[in-house]
Amino acid sequence: MYGYYRVAAAVNKTTVANPKKNAEEVLTLIKESHAKEVSVVVFPELTLTSYTASDLLLNQTLLASQNEALEYILKNIETINTIAVIGIAVLEADRLYNCAVVIQNGKMLGIVPKSYLPNKKEFYEKRQFTSGRDIVRTTIDLLDTEVPFGVDLLFTDKSNMTFGVEICEDLWAVTPPSNHMANNGANLLFNLSASNELIGKHEYREELVRTQSARCMAAYVYSSAGVGESTTDTVFGGHSIISEYGSTLVQNERFSLKSNLITADIDLERLRWLRLNEGSYGDGRRKKIRTVKVGTLPGITKLQRDINPMPFVPSRYTDKKYRCDEIIHIQAHGLIKRMSHAHIKKAVIGISGGLDSTLALLSTHKAFEIMNWDSKDILAVTMPGFGTTSRTKSNAIQLCETLDVTLKTVDITELSLNEFEAIEHDKEEHSVTYENVQARARTSILMNLANKEGGLVIGTGDLSEIALGWSTYNGDHMSMYALNSGIPKTLIKYVIEYFKSNKAISHIIDDILDTPISPELLPHSDDEITQETEEIVGPYELHDFFLYHFIKYGAEPKKILYLAIIAFDTKYDEETIKSWLKLFLKRFFTQQFKRSCMPDGPKVGTISLSPRADWKMPSDADFEIWLKEL
């Protein structure tokens, strides 16, 4: 379903050196996984014998019992299409290998040996096992069946999923086998482990799994041996973790005395396309591998994953100060470099009392603070016109006065009327011409004033407006440095809230945040905003959601719609979301010509629409196939 697969990490209750009892626990967990529509479930290292069986693994009786237990599991999962990855010891060519066997529908699909064997402190695997890191293009006979055997195996459903398997210490190695698996297309990685508990080790373990999922641009599912493995000087906690591209989706509660299972829905389609859109994945060296095609997998009837309706906004409140500091410093230092390099002392900003110009002013003010420049060299210009309300004008003036910047008011009414007369436009005809004349008048004033004062015009337009083309070409579309161009509207609200910590301006910011978003270009009769942007182009929270998924990994419109319906379940119905998504697609394609010549501006997040680096798109591309899909 849209590239989502449900995966699981299982920790079975272990009885040391009793494969039959362990097989019963494993079978119960496989059946539970299947009932939960899990595609693949992974178990701890040496699942059937137990990891701490130690030298008993060199005993014929234990190995024979293990193989009987494996055969018992296979016979009882013939109708189960959930894939299970189980740890076993394999005797081959008079060597013993610590392995993972991949099974589905009663069949063994492949066996992967462990590459790196720990032989230090409490671990001494080289007493029993041989490394399998050089085994490729090999098969072995197990349970009278010829099975692919080697570290060159990947398993695929020929759709979105390709997975690889490594075992415990492999992940701790300088170059984990999962690196090579990922280079060869594995977007899902499994690890069978027996990692004992030490103070703080679980934190390091989770960090290792999480960062490996980021490095490999993959999902990583990890299962470690449980409490039943504990013996002599070692205690095992049964830690299981599921991470996706640098984020831990779920991990279990350690030290459970019972078998337990965690699941997560991972977006493998997104991961595949992220590799095309980001990073240097394509430069990774490929090796000769063997792919094993898996059978039909369970489908997900209902997605069990939260979809963030605000993908640009940090989800944890505790991240707010850190994130906002970072955003403001990126903006401020980008501006500092531009002004210093050009030997410009003054900044010129059009102030409307709206969100965008407020953030541009606050970030510019921060740059001047950092450099100990005189705030009076920030020239803030209010330019009231036909649609300006006293509320927005008052907020703009109060903010400028409190920040101690130079405030200048230039009324554009007369200038606009003269322009109407020059082009023979009826001033009572409130068309796009009526609006754009005012927008270009304001930009002309700012540019000319900057020339007069030796200043730099600071652009205030944000990433959301740039995506929609919600600007007047060569009007507010243009500036000398587009300070907000890397920040979407939903994030701008978030950052402005951060400035409320300054008590002197907190009440002004509150009112700015409560003011409807408007270009204020149409006349009003009662000093109330009559032109609300979101009533015309749609809610910015929806457009930012569309933008993120469309740009981040090239999601299809039908998937964006599906995710938006989940994310905004109680706020917008399907038809509303669909109608605004259509508008987004039309505007995004038809307005590219504005982005093709947009001014410089600091990149803040991973998504930018700058034509010089991040987004290269023909100005005249057709949108028909994208709309048709909806």
- pLDDT tens-digit profile of 572-591? 999 999 999 999 999 999 99
- Maximum distance among all Cα pairs of the chain, rounded to whole angstroms: 101
3-state secondary structure 244-303: ECCEEEEECCCCCCCCEEEEEEEEHHHHHHHHHHCCCHHHCCCCCCEEEECCCCCCCCCC
- Kindly indicate the confidence band of residue 422, based on its pLDDT and cuts at 50, 70 and 90: very high
Task: Return the SS3 of 501.
Answer: helix
Phi, psi (deg, nearest 5) at residue 473 = -55, 125
- Residue indicated by tokens 């959930």: 82
Query: Quick one: fold of 317-629?
Result: Rossmann fold (3.40.50)
pLDDT tens track for 439-450: 999 999 999 999
Angle, helices 557-567 vs 540-552, to 10°: value is: 130
CATH assignment of 4-293, given 3.30.420.40, 3.40.47.10, 3.60.110.10, 3.20.20.140? 3.60.110.10
H or E element, residue 107: strand 107-113
- Kindly indicate the confidence band of residue 316, based on its pLDDT and cuts at 50, 70 and 90: confident
DSSP code of residue 409: E
For residue 40, which of 97, 110, 90 has the smallest C-alpha distance? 110
| Per-chain mean pLDDT for the chain | 95
- Which part of the chain has CATH 3.60.110.10? 4-293
Task: Tell me how far CA of residue 554 lies from CA of 269, 275, 394, 452, 549, in angstroms.
Answer: 10, 11, 43, 45, 7
Residues annotated as catalytic (active site), given as ranges? 45, 114, 168
pLDDT tens track for 179-227: 999 999 999 999 999 999 999 999 999 999 999 999 999 999 999 999 9
Task: Count other Cβ atoms within 10 Å, centred on residue 393.
Answer: 18
H or E element, residue 21: helix 19-35
> Which stretches of 286-431 are DSSP H helices?
320-341, 355-371, 390-403, 413-422
- Which part of the chain has CATH 3.40.50.620? 317-629
pLDDT tens track for 338-357: 999 999 999 999 999 999 99
Q: Is the pLDDT of residue 74 over 90?
A: yes
pLDDT tens track for 12-34: 999 999 999 999 999 999 999 99
Phi, psi (deg, nearest 5) at residue 592 = -60, -30
The answer to which of 79-83, 110-114, 501-505 has the lowest mean pLDDT is: 501-505
Pairing of strands 455-459, 83-92: unpaired
CA angle 519, 525, 530 (to 5 degrees): 35
Q: Stretch 31-43: mean pLDDT, rounded?
A: 98
Q: What is the 3-state composition of the chain as percent helix, strand, coil, each rounded to the nearest 5?
A: 40, 20, 40
For residue 481, which of 603, 368, 397 has the smallest C-alpha distance? 603
329 versus 497: the higher-pLDDT residue is: 329
Pairing of strands 290-293, 40-42: unpaired
CA angle 248, 162, 297 (to 5 degrees): 90
C-alpha–C-alpha distance, residues 149 and 141, integer Å: 9
> Which stretches of 263-382 are DSSP H helices?
268-277, 320-341, 355-371
- Residue indicated by tokens 């920790």: 11
For residue 295, which of 4, 84, 7, 42 has the smallest C-alpha distance? 84
- Residue indicated by tokens 């900003």: 349
What single letter denotes the amino acid at residue 618? P
pLDDT tens track for 274-313: 999 887 888 888 889 999 999 999 999 999 999 999 999 9
C-alpha–C-alpha distance, residues 537 and 150, integer Å: 56
- Kindly indicate the confidence band of residue 388, based on its pLDDT and cuts at 50, 70 and 90: confident
Look up the pTM and report it. 0.93
User: Is the separation of the CB atoms in 26 and 84 below 8 Å?
Assistant: yes
User: Is the separation of the CB atoms in 226 and 238 below 8 Å?
Assistant: yes
pLDDT tens track for 253-263: 999 999 999 99
pLDDT tens track for 219-241: 999 999 999 999 888 999 999 99
- Kindly indicate the confidence band of residue 525, based on its pLDDT and cuts at 50, 70 and 90: low
C-alpha–C-alpha distance, residues 529 and 386, integer Å: 11
C-alpha–C-alpha distance, residues 88 and 49, integer Å: 7
Q: Stretch 384-404: mean pLDDT, rounded?
A: 93
Residue 158 confidence (pLDDT): 84
Residue 152 confidence (pLDDT): 98
Task: Tell me how far CA of residue 129 lies from CA of 22, 134, 344, 603, 606, in angstroms.
Answer: 21, 14, 69, 51, 45
C-alpha–C-alpha distance, residues 144 and 147, integer Å: 9
Angle, helices 320-341 vs 489-498, to 10°: value is: 100
pLDDT tens track for 46-55: 999 999 999 9
